[in-house]
Structures are given as structure tokens and as C-alpha cells.
């Protein structure tokens, strides 16, 4: 399970660092995240195929897709959260920063990486569906809880702070909350697979 935290945290931090670097350097940085995501997808697939040939303990098809989705979503979430930490910036294209271009660049790379895994998600069983259901529940609860927090903030924050929140900023906050709920869904599913794998390994080790 530590590996799950490690690679998703790394993706979150990379997304945030790319946004901050783009703001400070006034240069598009999303291509770094895009290339990194595609390279990770290729290298991870090769690694899993090697593990499968050697031990047969490689992740299942649906789990492979899930790892990619969790990594890509974490990258985008980190980037968006870092961008939102600068409420004075206009994210629109042509407004003196490259945040919107970077976001779309990484989304495009996410789609390209997903094409490499499009066959993996087609083979699923009852275990995959049960884990997906648990993830969907947690993602739904995360979305509702985050929306409640946002509504309370919008209702009770001082007027001088609310004046700084234009419609576009609020829209981006809502996108961040949706992305957060998806990240929670994928993370819950990954933990489900990890627990299932640990249980199977424990059974195999019994005399």
C-alpha cells in the first residue's frame, strides 16, 4: 500500500511543481508532465509484463488501467490546486500565463496514455466490479462532502474575500472538486486491489 501512496503523491507533487514553475518562469511546463505520464505508462506496462512472465503476480488488466487513471488524475489535481492558490491569475488562454495550455496538454497526454491500456479494462470479473462499486461510493461521498464545505465557505466567508471569487474561479474550484472525487474513487479501488492481493498471498503462504 505504501507504493500506492508513493506514486500518487509523486504525481500530485509533480503537477503542483509544474504549475508553480510555469507561473514563476512564464513558460509552458505541461509538456513535461505529459511526456512523463506517457513514459510512465510505457515503462510500467513493460515492468508488469516482465513480472507476469517471472512470477505471475502482475496487476490484472482493470488494475493496470486504474493505476494509470490514478496517476493521471493526481497529476492534473496537483496542477489545478497549485494554480488555484493564485486567485489573482486569470487562467484563460492569452492572459499572460500558460496554465490553461498546460492543463490541456496534460489532458491530451492522459488520453494518449489511456489508448495504450484500452484493451486491459475489457477483462473484468466479480472482484473488479465489487472493488469498482466501493470506489464509486467513496468518490460520491467525497464529492458531496467537498461541495458542502464549498457551500459553507461561499455562505459565510467575509464579503471582501468573496469579492475576489469570480465565476471562472468558482468554476475551476468545482472542476478541482470533481477531480478530487475521481482521485478518491481511484485511490479506494487501488487499496481494494492491494488488500485483495495481500489476502491471496497470505493464503498461498499457508502450509
pLDDT at 20: 95
Alpha helix positions (H), 26-125: 30-54, 61-84, 99-115
Count the neighbouring beta carbons within 10 Å of the beta carbon of residue 115. Answer: 10
How far is CA 142 from its chain centroid? 14
In whole angstroms, give the CA distance from residue 104 to residue 117. 20
pLDDT at 202: 56
pLDDT of 173 reads: 93
pLDDT digits (tens, 9 = 90+) for 178-202: 999 999 999 999 999 888 777 655 5
How much is the mean pLDDT over the chain?
87
Say whether pLDDT at 204 is over 70. no
| pLDDT tens readout for residues 136-179 | 999 999 999 999 999 999 988 888 777 778 888 888 999 999 99
pLDDT of 28 > 80? The answer is: yes
Question: In this predicted structure, what is the pLDDT of residue 88?
Answer: 78
pLDDT of residue 1: 61
> Which distant-in-sequence residues (6+ apart) come within 8 Å of 137 by Cβ?
188
pLDDT at position 80, please? Answer: 95
Tell me what pLDDT residue 94 has: 62
Between CA 14 and CA 31 the distance in angstroms is 12
Amino acid at each position: 500500500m505504501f507504493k500506492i501512496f508513493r506514486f500518487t503523491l509523486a504525481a500530485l507533487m509533480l503537477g503542483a511543481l509544474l504549475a508553480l514553475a510555469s507561473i514563476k518562469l512564464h513558460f509552458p511546463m505541461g509538456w513535461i508532465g505529459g511526456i512523463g505520464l506517457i513514459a510512465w505508462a510505457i515503462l510500467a506496462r513493460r515492468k508488469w509484463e516482465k513480472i507476469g512472465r517471472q512470477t505471475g503476480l502482475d496487476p490484472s488488466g482493470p488494475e493496470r488501467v486504474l493505476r494509470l487513471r490514478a496517476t493521471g488524475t493526481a497529476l492534473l489535481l496537483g496542477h489545478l490546486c497549485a494554480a488555484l492558490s493564485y486567485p489573482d491569475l486569470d487562467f484563460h488562454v492569452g492572459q499572460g500565463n500558460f496554465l490553461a495550455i498546460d492543463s490541456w496538454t496534460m489532458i491530451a497526454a492522459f488520453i494518449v496514455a489511456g489508448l495504450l491500456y484500452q484493451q486491459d479494462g475489457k477483462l473484468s470479473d466479480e472482484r473488479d466490479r465489487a472493488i469498482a462499486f466501493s470506489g464509486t461510493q467513496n468518490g460520491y461521498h467525497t464529492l458531496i462532502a467537498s461541495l458542502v464545505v464549498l457551500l459553507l465557505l461561499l455562505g459565510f466567508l467575509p464579503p471582501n474575500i468573496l469579492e475576489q471569487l469570480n465565476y471562472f474561479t468558482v468554476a475551476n474550484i468545482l472542476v478541482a472538486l470533481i477531480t478530487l472525487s475521481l482521485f478518491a474513487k481511484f485511490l479506494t479501488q487501488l487499496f481494494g486491489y492491494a488488500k485483495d492481493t495481500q489476502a491471496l498471498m497470505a493464503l498461498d503462504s499457508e502450509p
